[in-house]
Every structure is written in structure tokens, then in C-alpha cells.
Amino acid sequence: MTPWLTILGVVPLVGALLISLLPTGRDLLTKQVALGTSLVVLVLTIVMCAQFDASSGDRFQFAQSYDWIRTFGVHYAVGVDGIALVLIALIAVLVPVVLLASWDDVESLSDGADAPAASRKSVKSFFALLLVLETMMIGVFAATDVFLFYVFFEAMLIPMYFLIGSYGGPKRSYAAVKFLLYSLFGGLLMLAAVIGLYVESAKVGTGTFSFEALTKLELSHATQGWLFLGFFIAFAIKAPLFPFHTWLPDAGAEAPTGNAILLVGILDKVGTFGFLRYCLPLFPWAAREFAPYVIALSVIGIIYGALLAMGQKDMKRLVSYTSVAHFGYIGLGCFAFTTQAGTGAVLYMVNHGLSTGALFMVIGFLINRGKSRLVGDYSGIAKAAPKLGALFFVSGLSALALPGLSTFVSEFLVLVGSFQRYPVATIIATVGIVLAALYILLTYQRTMQGPLSAVHATMKDLNVREVAALAPLIALMLFLGFYPKPVTDIVNPAVKVTMQDVGAHDPAPTDVATAAESK
């Protein structure tokens, strides 16, 4: 059997190594090696996805397991279900797009008076760190050993920390440290819970970190509650879910555009993925007990994030706050305990990566031209740069979940599935749809419409490279908006297994006529 997941993890590391061996000053070759490596990963991922059998009775496919630290029952164990597979596919799509979009970003740092030192503007380091980050992101979704998952969970912080701290905006150091401290605090809680799981498994046999073995543990309610909280808080910070979100606006605003796309499009999904992969199957009783509180936090996050987004003057902070609202919908879908809502939540993870990635990218292109992140510094840009204006409009419509675009399908599934168990919370959550229309359309109107200032009259439109970077995201948003079946068919079986683990069953549809007769 081909070790697909190991190959996918190793290829970016090989690319990063090749980049490190290139002579200094060969910037174009560095970029070409990075882009070529990411495209190889994309092709291999497509081949792997084609071999995935959605009807298989196995929980994980492409599985491998080898002893790593035998004394403590730690294994190098990887495998994917439908949920992990679509997220790895999202990584494979976004990384080459980000590399293409970030092609000239490092050089542009040298143009300003406040540019960082030359050692912090290395093109080699920037592109090598992106490839290392790709390996870590693939590993965190592929791991089926809880300790291995924790290792990747923490390790992926390192390249992102350096990318924000070395190549970010004026407040990059503050944003990078805040991102790291929040994540390390959550990781510390999760480590304590991981150790607790190992101790509990050792009480009934040989201690293990195997996910499938741990799902069979019978834990007391009190133990489940404490261990659930350890995992949940770590994942809620990573997502981020309200009120654990305060690091995201700073990190999203100060990170280079490409890194912001990966931060919000992929790294944050580790949190919501963790809800479905670990919190629900490992601690089913605790998940059911805490679900109403998580639902409440999710709904608050939807409204709170949308309201704060409406008040932002900084466009990158605005998009970051929209993500807080979007992750509220994903949290709602994860803890509604219906197949529709769960599938919608996973689909939302994918579609959010596409739509927010496109929106961040367009805004990044605008900022590179206008040298300002403030909404008030732009007006009438669509007249000078019609392609930029058009793609800004399409990306914004996707972010507000317009029917016909992919986010609408996922948001619809989350709301329909959640209404079956939490009708009041779902009704409140729908207010976020109206608010999303306001913060997206108002921002578009203020920046792209109106009189064109003389300062921006000569602004260049998107070039071929920039359009090529955006095109795959727009194409996928349109395709999945009209035909989401390829993704939902892969995700559904994995979501059903997760619902079985937590002991949840879809509510039976109510026949109004039958109910009336019975009365």
C-alpha cells in the first residue's frame, strides 16, 4: 500500500531543504522550487483522494502505524477519514495559491523606511517556512495517535510565529507573541488532558495514545468532564471561539497576506476539527453535557464577531472578525449533534478557507497598491482597477453566503441541522446573515464605489499572476456552490460515525397530520 500521508508530509520538507541549499540571491529559483513543490503535493493529494473509498467500513484509510516511543505506547500513526481528507485537500489547494499570491511580498518589505533588517527579509527563509508549515498542517490532520497529534499541534506554531514576527506589519512582534502565548497556553491544557488519557488507559491495560483504543475507554463522568475541558479550551483558542478569540484580530491584521490566509483558512480549522475528532468521540457524555454552553458561546460569537466587523476601519482586522462569526456557525454545527449540521460544519471549514482566503488575498492586493489598510483611505477603486473590484465583489458575496456560492450550502446545512435540536439558538444565529451582508457590502461600497481620488487614479489592476492565484478559489466556490455532492459524499460517513460515538441520533421528522390525529 502506498504510504500517501507520509509522502505528502515529506515532500514539502524536501522542498524546504532544497531551498536552504540554494545560493543566496537566487530568489526566483527559490520561488520556483517552492511553487513546484506545492504543486507536486497538490497532484499527489488529488491522486490520493481519487483512491479514497467513501463506502469503506474502515474508520481510517491510508493508515500506517509504527512504534515510536514504545515505552510510553507512542506510535507514528497516520490515517484519514472523510473529514481529515477534505481538510488536507484544502491545504493542498491553498498553499500553491498562497505562494503565487506572495510572490513579491518579501521584496516589497524593503521599500519602506521602516523595513526590517535584511536578515529578516530573506526570501529563502520565507518560502522554506511556508513549506515546513505545510508539512505540519498535513501532519496535524493525518495523525491518529493523540501524542503525535499534540506534537504537530504545537510544532506548527513555530513556522507561523516566525512568519508573522519576521515578515508582518508594524505591530508584528506583539501579534506574533500574543499568537504564540495563547496557543501555548491552550496546548499546555491539552497536554495535561493527553497525559490524563494515557493514565486512564494504563489503569485497564497497557497505556496507549491510540485514538481508536482511547475511544473504547470507559471513563467516569467527572474524568470525562475535566479531560473534555482540557481539549476543548485548547481547540476553542485555536479556532478561535468566543471568548477565546482575542489573539486573532491582531495576528490576522499583522501577518503577511499569504500567512493570514493560511492562519484563518487552515490553522484555525485545527480547533474545529479537534471538536469533531477528539472532543466528541473521546468524551461523549461530557460533550452532551457541555453542548448547550458551547452552542451559547457559538451564537454569541456569531453576533459579536459580526458587530465588531462592522465597526472596523482596518480591512484585515475586519476580515479577522468575520472569521470569529463564521467559526461560531462551525461550532454550532459541531455541537448540534445532527448529521446535517455536522456535515455542514465540515463543509463550512472548507468553504470558509476558500472564501476568506480569496477575500484576504484581494484585500492584500489592494493594500500592496494603496499602502494603507484603512477603509477610509480608498474610494472608487473599481474604476481604476475593474478586475480587482469585480473579484473583491465575488469574494465578498461568498463571505456573506450568497446562494450559488459554496458558503451558502454549508451555512444552510448548519442552520437546518441545528434547528432540529436548538431552534431558538438557530433563529438568533440567522441574524448573523443580515449583519454579514451589511459589513461586506458597506466595505465594498466605501472602497470600490464612489468618486475615484486622484491619488488612486493610476492604480494598476490585477496582473496575470494575481488573477491566476485567485482563479482556483473562485472556481471552487462556484463549483461547490452548485454541486457540493463530491465533498458531502466523502464527509457524511465520517460525521455519522462521530455522531454514533457521541450517542446522538438525528431527530425523526415530525408528521404534523399524524401528530394531530394522535391527540
Domain ranges for the chain = 283-506
Task: Kindly give the residue spans of alpha helices, DSSP state H, lying in 52-113.
Answer: 82-101, 105-108
Choose from 64-73, 290-299, 304-313 the range with maximum mean pLDDT.
Answer: 290-299
Cα(230)–Cα(470) distance, integer angstroms: 38
pLDDT value at residue 280: 92
pLDDT of 514 above 50: no
pLDDT value at residue 67: 87
pLDDT digits (tens, 9 = 90+) for 245-271: 888 888 888 888 888 888 888 888 899
In which band, very low, low, confident or very high, does the pLDDT at 453 lie, cut at 50, 70 and 90? confident
pLDDT digits (tens, 9 = 90+) for 58-113: 889 999 989 888 888 888 999 999 999 999 999 999 999 999 988 887 766 654 43
pLDDT digits (tens, 9 = 90+) for 135-144: 999 999 999 9
Q: What does the mean pLDDT of the chain come to?
A: 87
pLDDT of 291 above 80: yes
Task: Kindly give the residue spans of alpha helices, DSSP state H, lying in 120-156.
Answer: 123-142, 146-155
pLDDT of 56 above 60: yes
pLDDT value at residue 106: 77
Q: How many CB atoms lie within 10 A of CB 10?
A: 14
pLDDT value at residue 298: 93
Determine the average pLDDT of the residues in 412-438.
90
pLDDT of 114 above 50: no
What is the b/e burial string over 320-346, where b = at least 16 CB atoms within 10 angstroms of the residue's CB?
bbbbbbbbbbbbbbbbbbbbbbbbbbb
pLDDT of 294 above 90: yes
pLDDT of 151 above 80: yes
Determine the average pLDDT of the residues in 225-242.
90
Residue with cell 463530491: 486
